[in-house]
Amino acid sequence: MSSPGLLAAEPPRVCARALSSRASVPAAAAKGDDALPELEEARLAAPALHQNDGDDDGDADDEDEYKRVDATGETFLAGSHKLENGLELQDVECRYRTFGTMNEDRTNVLVVCHALTGNAALDDWWGSMLGPGKLFDDSKMFVVCINVLGSCYGTTSPVSINPKTGKPYGRAFPDVTVRDSVSLHLRLVKEHLGAKSVACVVGGSLGGMQTLEWAALGGDFVKAILPMSCGAYHHPWQIAISEAQRQAIYADSNWHGGDYHAHGTYPAQGLSVARAMAMISYRTHAGYGRKFGRRQVKDRAAGQDQERFFQVESYLRHQGAKFVSRFDALSYVKLTRMMDTHDLGRNREGGVEGALHRMTQPTLIVSATTDALYPPEEQQYLHEHLPNSELFTIDTDHGHDGFLLCQEEIIPVARAFLDKHVYGPLNLAQTASS
């Protein structure tokens, strides 16, 4: 599999049209997206973790999708949890949020999986999809969103207290896998919430990897899946991008080999650079050209960094500064490593293809034409080997972020899939809403 080449000059494409091998939706009008508000000077010294910076500058499609830090919700006290590597975590906590009511049969469960730096506050980052009559209809479904293992938003992670020492785990927190996290989430849904089955699992990027593992681990317990912008395993291309970001964090003098908590420091500069690198990988050559051009920062304050000359430079520093105010560097290292170890075929008969062939759940795969991080070839591979799958491709210059930003194109196709495979079998009529 290879990433797409450089895009030739063409008229602006935002989410102008949608293409599918087995489904189609009406063409959507391209959205005007020329102006970029000035961005505040980036702050490279990190505020306290989990402190909301309250910054809402920028166009909607430029905003951090988790701009309101929210670690609220309920906590599943899981006790011990065995990992793939044989280690056991003790006193494991798992943060989650629920929306709606479980039916008497305990079968109307819809699990939504968050991406790399997300949290369980689904109503915040995908609120436009949640509510009566919307795609995730909580008047009919019991919608569950669970924070991943290793995240700093409430589930056991490097910032959690190690019961053996009474201090934060820090760098002693073990490497964890997507499978480790999904096995914990399955326990939550089965043991704690008492579900008899899950009607559908939905997620994009790391959320899509979790979605695939739900199907592989859950078997008949999981009735349908909707993975977006992900692959069956992490390709060397994606591992290289993750490693470059981690190296930026390691190079920060405040990293202290991962012991920065003990030293009272924080590798803000390194984490900010890692975030900037990630933001580039989420978008495209054409999209950045359309969004920023070669426009310069206006009215730079006296003494401002003279290298911050172009708006795209200011944008990346702005995004980095916002990110360090809400995320932990060790969690970022552990979660990017979690993604790198994603491999549906690991320790499964027949490898990747064998695992996919056994995943017989109805599946809708969502792909983006210009996704340079998880290119369309990876979703095509899933489609070819998942026996009961449909592939829907959005034509967009948003790249990997297309699954977040092209909701007008995705929702009609996803709604038709859920009507057929979720609401229909549950005898729940869907009522379309915006």
Give the residue numbers marked as catalytic. 205, 371, 400
Contact of 374 with 238, CB cutoff 8 Å = yes
| Residue indicated by tokens 């977006």 | 228
Contact of 230 with 400, CB cutoff 8 Å = no
Note the residue count of the chain: 434
| Residue indicated by tokens 């990876």 | 378
Using DSSP's 3-state secondary structure scheme, residue 271 falls into: helix
Contact of 207 with 121, CB cutoff 8 Å = no
From residue 158, how far is each of 90, 108, 120, 170, 190 by CA, in Å? 13, 34, 18, 5, 26
Closest of 384, 426, 433, 388 to residue 412, by C-alpha: 433
| Residue 306 burial by Cβ neighbours in a 10 Å radius (0-12, 13-18, 19+) | exposed
From residue 117, how far is each of 66, 125, 313, 329 by CA, in Å? 8, 11, 22, 11
Using DSSP's 3-state secondary structure scheme, residue 389 falls into: strand
Distance CA 404, CA 30 (A): 16
Sign of the torsion angle spanned by Cα atoms 398, 403, 406, 412: positive
What is the DSSP code (8-state) at residue 68?
S
Q: Which two tokens stand for residue 45?
A: 């010294």
